[in-house]
Structure 1
Amino acid sequence: MELKIQNVNLELPENLQRHRTTGFSSSRVLVVRRGTPFRVTLQLAGRPFNPQTDSLRIKVMIGHLYVVLPVTFSKRELSSQWKAFIDPEDFNLWRPSFFITSPTSASVGNYTFQVSVFTQNSQRICALGKFTLLCNPWCSEDAVYIPFEDQRQEYVQSDSGLLFMGTCMNVVSRPWSFDQYEPSVLEACLNLLQISPQHQKNKRMDYMNRSNPVYISRVVSAMINCEDDRGVLKGNWSGDFKQGINPSMWTGSGDILEQWARSGFSPVKYGQCWVYAAVMCTVMRVLGIPCRVVTNFNSAHDTNENLVIEEYYSETGQKLNLSRDSIWNFHVWVECWMSRNDLGTGMDGWQVLDPTPQERSGGVFCCGPAPVKAIRNRRIDLFYDIPFVYAEVNADIHTIILSRAQSEVVSVSKDTERVGALICTKAIGLPRLQNITGDYKHVKSPTSTITSRTSTISDDSAFSRGKPKGVLVFLALDKSPIAGEPVSFFVKLVNKQSVAKMVKVHLNAQAKEYNHGPSDTFWEKHGVIELAPREVKVLHEQILPGQYEDVVGDDLINLAVVAVDPTSQDRVLASEEFNIAAPQLNIQIADEGSVMPNKEQTATVTFTNPFSHPVSGVLAVAGASLMHSKAYFRMLPLHPGGTVVQQITFTPSMLGNKMLQASLSLTNINVTVTGFKMVSVRSA
């Protein structure tokens, strides 16, 4: 009887578990990691396999590249080449199994393989199979190997996390669902590589280069934005989002990647830095490259590469938009873990990649991978984009006060500490931040806690123009501002001389977006203060909720004070940029200890209105592997101090720690209120 192949069994449960890709099982595709064997079983008919007369050969293909492998009875694995072997201790003649092992430097992508059985009478029977190959951070010989299991769980397998925003003195934790196991996300991430300009220009070379995570990361960094290609996201910092979705409304990567793929790869509108970074984190984790989202508070955008950022103020403390350079209150990028054999020794580990389109790198809007170690040691001679990232965390700020006609510089001072004041990421296994500032720069006293800092501009002899300052001014908040409460702060004036002074004091508050200069003044106060010789006087001030609620919302406040000594015409400025903490949504699980797969659970979301006027909006609740799709609820007008409770149901589909998150977009005020609850899904 003739031998026939009835079926090719890809042994999905066994292989997905061995390769730690069980989360991708909904795609019904065999997803494996390079350097680790996976099993394939043939179901034969007609007659059994005869090891004495029959032989197996495998042809593995990606694009037009292929390799042909004889199936041997040797289990010896060579990490540098493809191999196929039979385990002689586990061999069934009617259902013969064999293993395929890729090299640890194999290219990432979608593969097909052809199984050929050659019989004694020269008969050839063939069958086809498919698999997706990813990088392998569990394999010590892979370029993305990361040595600790808790790191691999956090930076590769975790499908939820926190993004940090606001200011370094009032950090806002924003929940984000990376969604790498949601249906169609794996396919979208692999399509991203296929439609990249590199692949379209030279498919063969692109497939070959995909063995290298440095190459992959630059392709992905460019493809997350759409400035040079058919990338995922279109940026918008104008404040007008009528043609798309306000970046603050996104809660996860899955919706963005699905919309991009469904539209035929048209850019999704709109993204800003944290959205770009979070979506890139999803793509890198899907591809098997360890990745985490990083926030740099007081991030410099140095357009002329002189490591100096100029900020201009009027004599009455109003910040002026006169420089192309800027300080973003926060900027978000990603770090990916990989070895850097292209740079010699000492540059392995975390690499900065920034998909937000700011400056071109190699003619394309992408940034990195820049080794964090190189940034710390100012190795600006190395690849890629280290000078740009170095400036983001280390530039000096020169603060310039202009005369009333803006025709004359009347005061200049500098600050060497403000830029890169806090650099952080989510802590491993915990819903809080980890301070990694010391990884990027030499800090005087590295600490894991955040300390508030009075934003004063110190006098500097190099800028004093020979005129000793007779008056000093300091500005500080009493506490971190909270929505619905007054912003309380104090101004301290110091007379350094032994003569009395009548000092003019100008206070000015402006709303600003995190990456822009401020808008018009919404609160100001002016006066004259008498200071006795050597006197120190403290002024206590407040900005009431009714004065800031309609103009600030999700934006920040730039608060400045200018003290003018009329006798000497010296002007001294102190400033602070801060955010007002929005209220949080509270989420409670009815029976938290009994959450298990395929069992419906109940949760309640609670919101109390802290504002001085009624608010209404739309509540969205989502959870990767907890809910099949987002649930939406309309919230009717809620009076000040009022509370609303919304009950929701969800049914987990996977084991592990999952995030249930909610966001409330208020319609009559520019505020998005968020909340999250970590849910532990256990087996029965």
Structure 2
Amino acid sequence: WFSGDDVYMADENERQEYVLNENGIIFVGNAKYIEARGWYYGQFQDQLLNICLTMLDLSLYYRQDPAIDVSRRGDPKYVGRVISSMINGNDNDNGVLLGKWQGSFNSHENPSRWDGSVVILQKWRQDNYKPVQYGQCWVFAGVMCTVLRCLGIPTRLVSNFNSAHDVDRNLSIDKYYDSSGKSLNIGKDSTWDYHVWNESWFVRPDLGTSYNGWQVLDATPQEQSKGLFQCGPASVIAIKEGDVDLDYDTLFVYTEVNADCNRWIVYNDGTKKRVYCDTEIIGRFISTKAVGSNSRVDVTYNYKYPEGSSEERRVYKKALAKIFGSNITEGNTESRDERSSETIRNPGISGKFKLAEPPVFGEDITLILILNNLSFDHKTVKVDMSASTILYTRRAVAEILKATTSVDLGSKQGKHIQLTIPYSYYGKYLTTDKRIQVTALCEVMHMHGVKLLVEKTIILEDTNIIIKVPHRVVVNKAVTLEISYANPLPEPVNRCILLVTLMNQQVKIHLAQLGARERSKIYFEFTPRKTGPLQLQVDFSCDKFSHVKGFVTIAVAPA
């Protein structure tokens, strides 16, 4: 609030949102299916400030030199970097969360279980400051937002769709497939359907006033920075302008929103052939919660100029020059359009997958592969199709379908190939991410191995949790909500549990068996104790699936 502060934010509405609001929205899903998830920050709950201050005292920075660490705690860029290293437990036995993206969670918590930060931070303290198990990117970001807001640093969550993880920092994300189109888990690069990080608002006297404003901080342990799993603060303006040599970790964040996407076929003899390059797919629909509402605001323009524009090409060449330095060659600086055609021969056909109807969890999925002959020549196309369940990081879990067919395409002709994935194929292999990736590797015969790769990621839609709220809710007066939930499967489900969370209070409700495709409802009564917005979250699990989410923001009026 003080204009001389490093974290001063002039707009009162923004201060209310980015410092004082205890409720948040996290955007997840993928670039074609963005979903909103509720999150309770609770930065002003009892003992939270003490927990946050203890976090600073347990950091490796403090242990290394307590006097210097304490003297720098008035510097938001220092505090933000320290907190980004403390939210994860990769380097520090006293970190807040351990990350886990695959395998069984056993007796620990599935990351999808969490609906807010307070219960995590309280558990961390109760367990004598040992890492809570487990978190994934949105959990790390949600907890970090709580801590930074608690310490008075304006902070928000940002979701980047088609987020690149470029391990070797060459601005290229390389993904590999076998000769039948099956995704291979080789190579360290990856593209996540979404990745969530934080932005905090403060000045950057170390860089100059032109880099003031939003700064990226990321607590998800992806890569080490100066020996620790920490990331940022990276100036959003520096990212947009390609100033990838500036502190801290600007190059890493730049690649998350700007890398090229390359696809390679790996043949049985080990040789590789590049069959696809997309220079525009990475860094889409970068999103955050609106000030004062639950709407989504697109902030992609904060991070980069429009794809294909002269400004974007200028910044890309600038970034390449800073990365490769004096070793840069003319090949490094050619336009992205030129590089996209490098080593890739045009097979003369186009293809795309289209869903015949919305994909619903528990039902068969029907896709149409649309192939078009772009030339006047007759073509015979061999099509190898593969489907796998995947995580939101796009790592394959299990191959569930494989099919091969051949299609004759006449001059300028198009044909449709139907592919059905029955529930019985995917049901037991689906994770809580509820994602399936389908690929088609299309080889034009007699063209010496020229291939077209078509792929699509499908997010299966859950049967909605429906929360009905009375028209008027008044403080200190009991209110009854109707919560309905459903079993979308063609079989009964047992061990049904509904978790209802209001602020930091959670009620676990054990429910009766649900029959196939059955919907049921309960009535939930509570008494709000303060006015203003109140977020209520619902989580439904059973023996066949878990953590179907719903939330509602309730406006509590004064008496």
The TM-score with structure 1 as length reference comes to: 0.74
**Aligned equivalents of 1:554 and 1:166: distance in 2?**
12
Counterparts in 2 of 1:460 and 1:351: CA distance versus 1, 3 Å: closer
Contact 2:211 2:237 in 1 (8 A): yes
Residue-by-residue CA offset, 1:638-674 (whole Å, 9 max, x unaligned)? 11231221222222222211101111123222x4211
The change in CA–CA distance for 1:231 and 1:485 in structure 2 (over 3 A counts) is: same
Q: Do the aligned residues in 2 keep the contact of 1:232 with 1:260 (CA within 8 Å)?
A: yes
> Aligned equivalents of 1:587 and 1:185: distance in 2?
30
Matched, 1:371 2:224: no
User: Which residue matches 2:552?
Assistant: 677
Provide runs of 4+ in structure 1 moved above 4 Å: 457-460
Alignment match, 1:570: 450
| Inter-partner Cα distance in structure 2 for 1:344 and 1:672 | 45
Larger displacement relative to structure 2 (335-344 or 195-204): 195-204
Q: Post-superposition shift, 1:490?
A: 2.3
**One-letter amino acid of the structure 2 residue matched with residue 220 of structure 1:** I
Q: Give the distance between the partners of 1:478 and 1:459, measured in 2 at CA.
A: 34
Please state how far the C-alpha of 1:584 moved relative to its aligned partner.
Answer: 2.3
Q: Is 2:158 aligned against 1:280?
A: no
2:481 maps to amino acid: A
2:116 is the counterpart of 1:241: no
CA distance in 2, matches of 1:155, 1:445: 33
Query: Does residue 1:311 correspond to 2:175, yes or no?
Result: yes
Q: Deviations over 1:170-218 (max 9, x none)?
A: 1121111112222222221121122222233333322221111111101
Q: Give yes or no for the alignment of 1:338 onto 2:213.
A: no
Q: How does 1:457-496 map to 2 (within 5 A)?
A: 460-464=340-344, 467-478=345-356, 480-496=358-374
Q: Is the 8 A contact 1:170 1:578 kept in 2?
A: no
Aligned-partner SS, 2:464: coil
- 3-state SS of the aligned residue for 1:270? strand
The structure 2 residue matched to 1:267, chosen from 106, 112, 131, is: 131
Of 391, 398, 402, which aligns to 1:520? 398
Secondary structure of the residue aligned to 1:630 is strand
Aligned pairs for 1:3-402 within 5 A: 138-229=1-92, 230-402=94-266
Q: Pick from 620, 627, 643 the counterpart of residue 499 of structure 2.
A: 620
The change in CA–CA distance for 1:316 and 1:613 in structure 2 (over 3 A counts) is same
For 1:426-575, list aligned pairs within 5 A: 426-444=289-307, 460-464=340-344, 467-478=345-356, 480-555=358-433, 556-568=435-447, 569-575=449-455
Map of 2:467 onto structure 1 = 587
CA contact 1:274–1:331 (8 Å) conserved in 2: yes
Residue 564 of structure 1 aligns to which amino acid in structure 2?
E
Task: For residue 358 of structure 1, report the CA deviation from its aligned partner.
Answer: 1.2
Q: Which residue of 2 aligns with 1:50?
A: none
Alpha-carbon distance in structure 1 between the residues aligned to 2:356 and 2:162 = 21
Name the CA distance, whole Å, in 2 between partners of 1:270 and 1:290: 26
Identical-pair percentage: 36
Q: Which amino acid aligns with 2:353?
A: L
SS at match of 1:261: helix
How far did residue 420 of structure 1 move? Answer: 0.8
The DSSP-based 3-state class of the residue aligned with 1:558 is strand
User: Over residues 557-608 of structure 1, what are the superposed CA-to-partner deviations in whole Å (9 max), with x where a residue is unaligned?
Assistant: 111111112211322111112311222211122x441321x33322221112
Is 1:561–1:573's contact at 8 Å kept on the other side of the alignment? yes
Q: Secondary structure at the match of 1:679?
A: strand
How far off its partner does 1:459 sit?
10
- Structure 2 CA distance, aligned partners of 1:271 and 1:386? 24
- Quick check: 2:391–2:431 contact (8 Å CA) kept in 1? no
Identify, as 1 or 2, the structure richer in helix.
2
Q: Is the 8 A contact 1:395 1:416 kept in 2?
A: yes
Distance in 1 of aligned mates of 2:184 and 2:70 = 50
- Gaps in structure 1 of 5+ consecutive residues: 1-137, 447-456
Is the 1:414–1:458 Cα contact (8 Å) retained in structure 2? Answer: no
Number of paired residues? 528
1:488/1:541 contact within 8 Å kept:
yes
Deviations 1:363-415 (A, max 9, x none): 21110000111111110121100000001111111111122x15223443211
Letter in 2 for 1:508: S
Report how far residue 289 of structure 1 moved. Answer: 0.7
CA 1:233–1:575 in 2, change beyond 3 Å: closer, same or farther? Answer: same
Give 1:458 deviation, angstroms: 12
CA offset at residue 460 of structure 1? 4.5
What amino acid maps onto 1:214 in structure 2? Answer: K
Distance 2:338 2:403 in 1: 23
Pair 1:284–1:257, CA change in 2 (3 A): same
Distance in 1 between residues matched to 2:284 and 2:21, nearest whole Å: 28
Change over 3 Å in CA distance of 1:431–1:614 after alignment to 2 = farther
2: distance between equivalents of 1:461 and 1:336?
Answer: 39
Distance (whole Å) between structure 2 residues aligned to residue 469 and residue 652 of structure 1: 63
Using structure 2 for the length normalisation, give the TM-score: 0.90
| C-alpha distance in 2 between matches for 1:503 and 1:427 | 48
RMSD: 2.1
1:606 to 469, 484, 487: 484
What does residue 537 of structure 2 align with?
Answer: 661
Q: C-alpha separation between the residues in 1 aligned to 2:28 and 2:341?
A: 35
> CA 1:441–1:248 in 2, change beyond 3 Å: closer, same or farther?
same
Q: Could you report, residue by residue, the CA deviation over 1:101-156 in whole angstroms, capped at 9, with x for unpaired residues?
A: xxxxxxxxxxxxxxxxxxxxxxxxxxxxxxxxxxxxx2211111112122111111
Distance 1:609 1:351 in 2: 43
Letter in 2 for 1:463: T
Contact 1:415 / 1:458 at 8 angstroms: preserved in 2?
A: no
Rounded to whole Å, the distance in 2 between the matches of 1:594 and 1:557 is: 41
Question: For 1:657 and 1:274, how far apart are their aligned partners in 2?
Answer: 22
For 2:431 and 2:83, how far apart are their aligned partners in 1? 33
Measured in 1, the distance between the counterparts of 2:273 and 2:216 equals: 39
Aligned AA (2:197):
W
Is the partner of 1:175 in helix, strand or coil?
strand
User: What's the offset of the Cα at 1:240?
Assistant: 1.6
CA distance in 1, matches of 2:280, 2:522: 45
Q: For 2:357 and 2:297, how far apart are their aligned partners in 1?
A: 22
- What is the match of residue 513 of structure 2? 637
Q: Distance in 2 between matches of 1:158 and 1:368?
A: 23
Secondary structure in 1 aligned to 2:209? Answer: coil
CA contact (8 A) 1:249 1:665 kept: no
| 1:331-354 alpha-carbon deviations (Å, 9 max, x no partner) | 111111111111112111111000
The 3-state SS of whatever aligns with 1:139 is: coil
Partner of residue 423 from structure 1, selected from 265, 268, 286: 286
Give CA deviations for 1:16-74 in whole Å, capped at 9, x if unaligned: xxxxxxxxxxxxxxxxxxxxxxxxxxxxxxxxxxxxxxxxxxxxxxxxxxxxxxxxxxx
Q: Are the structure 2 counterparts of residues 378 and 477 from structure 1 closer, same or farther at C-alpha, using a change threshold of 3 Å?
A: farther
Alpha-carbon separation, structure 1, partners of 2:389 and 2:83: 34
Structure 2 residues without counterparts, runs of 5 or longer: 310-336
| Partner SS state of residue 492, structure 1 | strand
Q: Which amino acid aligns with 1:472?
A: S
TM-aligned CA deviation for residue 479 of structure 1:
5.7
